[in-house]
Amino acid sequence: MMTLKELRRAGHWPTLLASFLYFDFSFMTWVTLGPLMIYIARELNIAVADKFTLVAVPILAGAILRVPVGICCDRLGAKVTGCAAQVIVIAAVAYAGFGGLRTVTDIELFGIALGLAGASFAVALPQAGRWYPPHLQGIVMGIAGAGNVGTALDALIIPTLAEQFGWRMAIASLLVPLVPTFLFYAVVSREAPGPRARAGWDRYRAVLTDIDSLWFMFFYFITFGGFVGLANSLSLYFNIQYHVSGVTAGLMVAVVVSFGSFFRPVGGAVADRIGGIRTLMALFGVVSVVYAIAAFLPAGPEPAVAGGTVSGLQGPAVHALILFSAGVLCLGMGNGAVFQLIPQRFRGEIGTMTGLVGCFGGIGGFFLAKALGMSKDLTGGFSAGFLFFSVLVLAGLAALAGVRKRWRTTWGAASGARI
């Protein structure tokens, strides 16, 4: 209750709301190829491994674009950068929905343009975070970052629209939230008072020489990479593994990613209370177990007609739904916990760090989606991909244990927040 009262008194809540909405619908747009790939691949006759590659293209593009977008944020201001990015994304969506996307190359180019929507992370989070004091960073970054609930909206709505009106018109429907959100953001959002760091490539190189920044990138590679990689891949996974329809797969993904989205602020709030390191260590332990179990999930029963779908959810699909929901919940909380720690260590370079850490988080999502596709292509199943990530999360847990004492006795002790 005290935190909510402080949030109302401190900072600028219209900017926090505008940042949330901007990130929400940009994130929805960023991952739209995931639930649509079932329909696109059917029309363009795309192979299984290539499906996973195509859904990973926007993730990688978003990861790379977060660095230059972060620089623009620090040099030009978050609002100018955010407005320009939204205009470009709206134009790309309009072109794709009404005039383009006839070949696989068109899909790849559109995926690159969607990367700019994913780069909204490097605008929305620092713009909101700069308004609030250190002891509220976890909850504020969690609220702004909870805009990734757009993933759930995308998985819930887009497949149904694709069934009814075709996948191109489903893309065009994204203009309905994008245009009003841009207008709202342009009118109500504000830059935080105080000077901005004029970050450039030299600042990025300087930050990269600090070992702590590399650890944060690795931890976000795991948490955000796991979240967005699954958000973009699970529609294909559920369709292939359990033979459900595109709409049913979308509903399943919406359930799973809702947990990760809505619990991101919870992760930040818990980290504010008990410390980000302790929170992340507990979450990494659970996520590693979930990935290991996912590697051995049985496939669902074959449909009555070859190449068809099954009706309803069979037992194995329900078990997978529960398992992935638990894992993505922890990944979402982990995203909030990572961004409770970053402002304590890099308060003066928050824009730079958001761009770098967000970049590596996106690369993690690309890596997971690509690994699952390669696993299916090379081994006939998804076990190898999930097992690899289970081991990777264990490595993250070991790394946290290694830096815990140093962090708490150096910059953590001087931050005034729980570390």
pLDDT of residue 2: 43
Specify the pLDDT at position 311.
Answer: 66
Look-up of token digits 């944060």: 216
Query: 277: buried, middle or exposed (CB in 10 Å: 19+, 13-18, 0-12)?
Result: buried
CA angle 96/92/15 to nearest 5° reads 135
pLDDT (tens place) for every residue of the chain, 419 residues total: 445 566 666 667 788 888 888 888 998 898 889 889 989 988 888 888 888 889 889 988 988 888 888 778 877 888 899 999 999 999 999 999 887 778 888 999 999 999 999 888 778 877 877 777 766 666 676 676 666 677 777 888 899 899 899 999 999 999 999 999 999 999 988 877 766 555 556 767 777 888 999 999 999 999 999 998 998 899 999 989 998 888 898 899 989 988 887 888 888 889 988 989 999 999 999 999 999 999 999 988 877 665 567 766 778 899 999 999 999 999 999 998 998 898 888 877 776 787 788 889 889 999 998 899 999 989 999 999 999 999 999 999 999 999 999 998 888 787 776 78
Distance of alpha carbon 300 from alpha carbon 130, whole angstroms: 48
Residue 418's nearest CA partner among 216, 287, 268 is 268
Q: What single string gives the DSSP state of each residue in 122-152?
A: HHHHHHHHTTS-GGGHHHHHHHHHGGGGHHH
The distance between the two most distant Cα atoms of the chain, rounded to a whole number of Å, is 65
Residue 402: the pLDDT is 94
- Report the alpha-carbon angle 379-385-390, nearest 5: 140
Radius of gyration in angstroms for the set of CA atoms belonging to the chain, rounded to a whole number: 20
Single pTM value for the model: 0.81
> Are the C-beta atoms of 246 and 366 separated by less than 8 Å?
no
Say if CB 241 and CB 299 are below 8 A apart.
Answer: yes
Domains and CATH numbers, the chain: 12-183+196-415 (1.20.1250.20)
List, in sequence order, the alpha helices (H) in 31-166: 33-44, 48-76, 78-98, 104-118, 121-129, 137-145, 150-165
One-letter amino acid at 318 equals V
